[in-house]
Structure 1
Amino acid sequence: MKKKKWIHLIEPWIIPILIIIIWEVSNKTGILANTVLPAPSDVVKAGYEQAVSGVLFDHLQISTTRALIGFLIGGSIAFVIGILNGIVPFAQRYLDTTIQMLRNIPNLALIPLVIIWFGVGEEGKIFLVAISVFFPIYVNTYHGIRNVDPRLIEMGKIYNLSKYKLFFKVIILGAMPSILVGIRYSLGIMWLTLIVAETVAASSGIGYMSMNAREYMQLDIVVLAIILYAILGKIADSIAKLLEKKLLKWNPVYQ
């Protein structure tokens, strides 16, 4: 059993490892020019140098802080409004149409306005991240609440559950799979938005590090920044998976 468990842990990493090996060999044999894409070993060396100098961790901490603050603000508001519109018909009639209209505006198209409103400070980047995560979480929360089986709600009423228990034990738990899908999707969009925000108007962060390296043709650092975003995205996705397993252990699909 332990052997099978280790195999399952290794299997997802087989293709990425093969890609890195082929990439390294292609670069060292001259098939892939260093001016097009530096070798993985060169990228690791650049990362080590940046880490030793402390610059890498400074940019990483700044980007992560921006992402988390924006996610918490946008996600919290989306969650509350999604529940409100899902439960209260009056709120749904007056709010949902407006939100759906705004959802179709590309959030990156707001960058010129955001720069005018907030300048190039932290507020603008956090605002863009908050907007980007708002809509996936709102839509999935709203539809999750609306699609809770009415028979479960009726059964809860028959068993004389209090409004509190009916809300948390039946409605929220019933909507949780959809809510977590929204969270998982929004985590990917969060990093995508932050990348653009930091490359357009920033003086710190991973995106800024990448753009600054581009000015000096430091391709190894540019690739390092891209890999860092990929790793951060994977970590966020893994956290979302753990949340699914933890919060949905009652659901046979997630067992």
Structure 2
Amino acid sequence: MLEFSVLGPLTLRRDGRALTVPTVMLRRVLAVLLARSGTPASVDLLIDELWGERPPRSARRTLSAYVSRLRKLLGDDDRVESSPGFYALCPRPGELDAEAFRQLTERAAQAHATGDRPAAAAAMRSALALWRGRAFDGQRDTALVERTAEGLEQLRLSTFEEYIDFKLDAGATGDLVGQLDAMIGEHPYRERLRGQRMLALYRGGNRADALETFRRTHHVLVQDLGVEPAVKLQQLHQRMLAGDPTLASSGVA
């Protein structure tokens, strides 16, 4: 069985053993094909992604050689399908972590839509656990891979925020702060994350730290972006200052 991992540094395994992709260009070919996973990519697109506006005259022949080397590395010629003018890398079910992540987020959305919040939270937790770092880390030097990675990371961020809301509604507090701090480190201007941190601290009995979170948020936004916090975050701050008793209850933010 092959395992393609892109939710972090690009890695490749066969039967549990790590495989070394030996050259920069071969890793780039693999990354681009995985970014188009299951969808045929035209030779022209691949050449543009690999070499930009000034490809070598031998680009088509060189690309064909890279595909041959990749097939040999994978140990299965059928994994990289070809048709006139196109190539496609087609991982099987369970082999690509990005696809597993998308499926779990879809499962979470379906469970949420039917009111099964525990199942939704469990699916989101499993989806988030697949991540090992930035998507396609170290291989984001082509436009297609960068767009794909950004899309995955936006889905991760929205899934994380929904998961934190679920946990807050369930009464969890202290164990969330460390998780929020890590994500805020990646997205320092994301006000929803900072509001969730404030709420987790406040409900955990750390009102002073919750208010300090707002003060630091205000400073960062004004200093770095020249903007004030959004009205919703300011209102949350005012409610904490006033000791609004409804903030202590789950489902209120």
Question: Which band: TM-score by shorter chain?
Answer: under 0.3
Q: Which has the higher contact order (CA 8 A, sep 6+)?
A: 1
* Greater fraction of residues in helix: 1
